[in-house]
Structure 1
Amino acid sequence: MKIIAGLGNPGSEYAATKHNVGFMLVDALADRLGIDNWQDKFEAKVAQGVIGTEKILLVKPLTYMNESGRAIGPLLNYYKLDPEDLIVVHDDMDIPAGTVRIRKKGSAGGHNGIKSVLAHVGDEHFSRVRIGIGRPMPGWTVVNHVLAPFTDEDKPKIKEAIAYLLPAVECIVTEDVDLAMNKYNPKKQKKKKVVEQVKSQEGGTDRVAE
């Protein structure tokens, strides 16, 4: 079994906020797979389903973001799963809104929800699916930013990112995270070298500008 946990805050007042993109993706995956058997378990909303031949457990912690691990850790223990069986979906301020990144391990990178998961799981070797929400606007605190809804400009970017990531999450489950990273992470484009003529009093020289 794989656990796919989206991070966020419970309650309608938080449903459309940037911090809740993890919940949004898990809900979209449930819709895609026709999963609606939600129940409360270990301080989380959980629902079981299948991707390919693999059983999955969709999880939305009810502990609020900063205590996400309090729900996820006990679920891993209850089902006798390893950290590698966990996929966590969360927001990321360090990448532009709508940009996606998949990682197979790593530190919390300043994300309090991931800090909590690391503390309760006790291992960094779980997959992360990150959805960019961008940096706060000038004069805004981090809290103001993550607890605010997306702008009209960013809403379609987030919707597109979630749709793009649904098959990526399925790939992690049915294949592995390395294949998903290779297939779905944005490719880094090599800088194009432009040769420009720079004429000086001593004569023309070629300069390579990147």
Structure 2
Amino acid sequence: MKLIVGLGNPGSEYEKTRHNIGFLVVDKIASDLNVSLTETKFNGIFYKSRDFIIAKPLTYMNKSGEFVTAISSYYNINKDDIIVIYDDMDLEFGKISIKQKGSSGGHNGMRDIIEKLGTEEIKRLKMGIGRDGNAINYVLGKFSIADFELIQKSIKIAAEAIVSFIYNDIRFVMNKYNGNL
């Protein structure tokens, strides 16, 4: 079983912020698969099928590891079958990068997941949001209307890549989708 986790912060004040792009990708995946995240457990919401779970932690970003650890343990999901979707300021706006492992790169949500799971070998799909000025204000800022329209294409491609991951090896997905946009 695959576990797909999009990172973000709960609450309406964080909707459509750069830091919540993981949530936006999960919403797109759910929409494309015509499913709803209605299960609530482990301080998160998710949809579970026989083959995969699509999830959003409802903890704040820096506590994402608590949710990922709890849900993966409960459903006995191998760490190799987990993929995390999150924003990356060091990646050009709109770019997608899929990796099999690595450090947190300064991302607090990913740092907590790595710490709680005890490994850097966690698959991830990073969404480029670019960088501008104060990091905290930037990531917690909302997309401009123009930027939100542009990022929709990246969200669509990221959702396609994740759906492909459900049924394919990560190397296939990386070869097909890395560097898009």
TM-score under structure 2 length normalisation: 0.95
Bigger RCO of structures 1 and 2 (CA < 8 A, at least 6 apart):
2
Give secondary structure in 1 for the equivalent of 2:24: helix
Equivalences for 1:154-165 in 2 at 5 Å? Answer: 154-165=147-158
Please give the alpha-carbon distance, in whole angstroms, between the structure 2 residues aligned to 1:153 and 1:56: 33
Structure 2: which amino acid aligns with 1:80?
Answer: N
Question: Is there any run of 5+ residues in structure 2 with no aligned partner, and where?
Answer: none
Equivalences for 1:187-198 in 2 at 5 Å? Answer: none
Counterpart in 2 of 1:194? Answer: none
Equivalences for 1:126-137 in 2 at 5 Å? Answer: 126-137=122-133
Question: Is there any run of 5+ residues in structure 1 with no aligned partner, and where?
Answer: 188-210
Please give the alpha-carbon distance, in whole angstroms, between the structure 1 residues aligned to 2:61 and 2:76: 24
Contact 1:97 1:157 in 2 (8 A): no
Please give the alpha-carbon distance, in whole angstroms, between the structure 2 residues aligned to 1:37 and 1:147: 24
Contact 1:7 1:113 in 2 (8 A): yes
Residues 103-157 of structure 1, C-alpha deviations (whole Å, 9 max, x = no match): 01111011100000001111222210110111023xxx21100110112332122
Please give the alpha-carbon distance, in whole angstroms, between the structure 1 residues aligned to 2:39 and 2:136: 30
Give secondary structure in 2 for the equivalent of 1:9: coil
Counterpart in 2 of 1:151? Answer: 144
Could you tell me how far 1:37 is from its partner in structure 2? 4.8
Higher Cα radius of gyration? 1
Give secondary structure in 2 for the equivalent of 1:98: coil
Q: Are 1:142 and 2:142 matched, yes or no?
A: no
How many residues of Structure 1 are paired with residues of Structure 2 in the alignment? Answer: 180
Counterpart in 2 of 1:43? Answer: 43
Give secondary structure in 2 for the equivalent of 1:186: coil
Please give the alpha-carbon distance, in whole angstroms, between the structure 2 residues aligned to 1:167 and 1:37: 18
Structure 2: which amino acid aligns with 1:125?
Answer: E
Q: Which runs of 4+ in 1 moved over 6 A?
A: none
Equivalences for 1:77-88 in 2 at 5 Å? Answer: 77-88=73-84
Counterpart in 1 of 2:2? Answer: 2
Q: Which has the higher strand share?
A: 1
Please give the alpha-carbon distance, in whole angstroms, between the structure 1 residues aligned to 2:104 and 2:48: 27
Please give the alpha-carbon distance, in whole angstroms, between the structure 1 residues aligned to 2:172 and 2:145: 33
What is the aligned counterpart of 2:172 among 157, 160, 179? 179
Cα RMSD after superposing both structures: 1.3
Could you tell me how far 1:70 is from its partner in structure 2? 0.8
Residues 159-201 of structure 1, C-alpha deviations (whole Å, 9 max, x = no match): 00011122211221211111111111127xxxxxxxxxxxxxx
Structure 2: which amino acid aligns with 1:104?
Answer: Q
Identity level (%): 40
Please give the alpha-carbon distance, in whole angstroms, between the structure 1 residues aligned to 2:10 and 2:55: 12
Give secondary structure in 2 for the equivalent of 1:91: strand
Contact 2:29 2:160 in 1 (8 A): no
Contact 2:8 2:61 in 1 (8 A): yes
Q: Which has the higher helix share?
A: 2
Give secondary structure in 1 for the equivalent of 2:26: helix
Could you tell me how far 1:41 is from its partner in structure 2? 0.6
Counterpart in 2 of 1:168? Answer: 161
